Structure 1
Amino acid sequence: MESIDKSHSTDLLSDLQDPVIFEYASKGQRFANLFIDMIIIDLGMALLLNVIPGALLLLPFLIIWYIGYFVCMEAFAGGRTIGKMATNTRVVNLDKGPISIGQAFGRIFSRLVPFEAFSALFGVPWHDQWTNTTVIKNK
């Protein structure tokens, strides 16, 4: 008869009981996220403008591309845009869970507020405050 060695057994629920500690992304990581994402967005826009004649007619598509990139990546790709993937960070809600599509839309539309980008220099960016989200480092 086999015996079970309890000294090496693990409690399957221990992960739920241990506190999970998250580290917030640095200002440098967040700047890098934005910089990389803007390069991706600008490349996509440049491609559209060069391939399809009548650039002014493309304005609605360019706006959809900009909004769609952030909303789709943040809401459906685990809170990670390409910039966040490069810096190993992700956006989460304040409970550290995935953000909702509403929060993703809120983040992008809050960036339309004049001088919103400068809010990151003086604390928590407004787009995080207004949508109850934050950017953390992946472990």
Structure 2
Amino acid sequence: MENEFLEVMSQQTDEQLIKILTVEREKYNPLAIEAAESEIKKRNIDTSDFEQIREKVVVEKEQMEKVNSNVVGSGIRFVNFLIDFIVWLILAFIVSFVIELFIQPTDQGMISLIGYILIFGTFIAYYAIMEIKFQKTIGKFVTKTRVIKMNGEKPTNGDIIIRTFCRLIPFDRLSFLFVKNGIHDYLSKTNVIKDSAE
């Protein structure tokens, strides 16, 4: 009888095979382990690197568990949202007041266009600048939380930009009622954790 896992294991990377045979061995069916060992032999992978890769995977797993244990709940996220919403409204009001001092459009369409640009521009600028510079917004300063990547590292500017634009997805704010991480966290591969967590 042919091992049904041979095809599956043949599609795994070398590192995935090593992870299966070391750190995650207890999660797999004995036939899957047999297929992984067979694939390792077939690829002639040097098993002397197993311990180094196993240690690396264990460290990554511990880091992920630490991050996951410090992810804040929906209540704190809602407080962050309220504070940031108020700050954003104040910021948008100040910017619109300054713009009105210099520009006096008479066309109703132009007024609407400027209004939309102002609303989205201040929203994007507020979240992007604050989270790129500080890993937190005013709301996160108040609740002592910050944004990190899911693996615990500091997010790149690109991660924050993706996170910021994903906030514009309809129902993103409601996603926190159903899951611990919202849509913009999931798509940008980021989390919000307690600030004291390293």
Which TM-score bucket, shorter chain as reference?
Answer: 0.7 to 0.9
In the alignment, what sits opposite 1:5? Answer: none
1:29 aligns with 2:85: no
8 A Cα contact 1:74 1:81, kept in partner: yes
- CA deviations on 1:28-78 (whole Å, 9 max, x unpaired) are 11111111111111001112233432554354244222101111111121x
**Structure 2 stretches of 5 or more lacking a match?**
1-58, 106-110
**Paired amino acid for 1:35:** L
Runs of 4+ in 1 over 3 A off after TM superposition: 19-22
User: 2:91 pairs with 15, 20, 44, which one?
Assistant: 44
Residue 153 of structure 2 corresponds to 97
- Tell me: higher relative CO, structure 1 or 2? Use CA pairs within 8 A at least 6 residues apart: 1
Q: Secondary structure at the match of 2:188?
A: coil
2:169 paired residue number: 113
Number of positions where the alignment pairs a residue of Structure 1 with one of Structure 2: 121
Q: Give the aligned partner of residue 144 of structure 2.
A: 88
Who is 1:65 aligned against? 122
- Structure richer in helix, relative to its length: 2
Question: So what's the TM-score if we normalise by structure 1?
Answer: 0.77
Specify which of 60, 74, 90 is matched with residue 131 of structure 2. Answer: 74
Name the structure 1 match of 2:7: none
RMSD of the TM alignment (CA)? 2.0
Greater radius of gyration (CA): 2
**Unpaired segments of 5 or more residues in structure 1?**
1-16
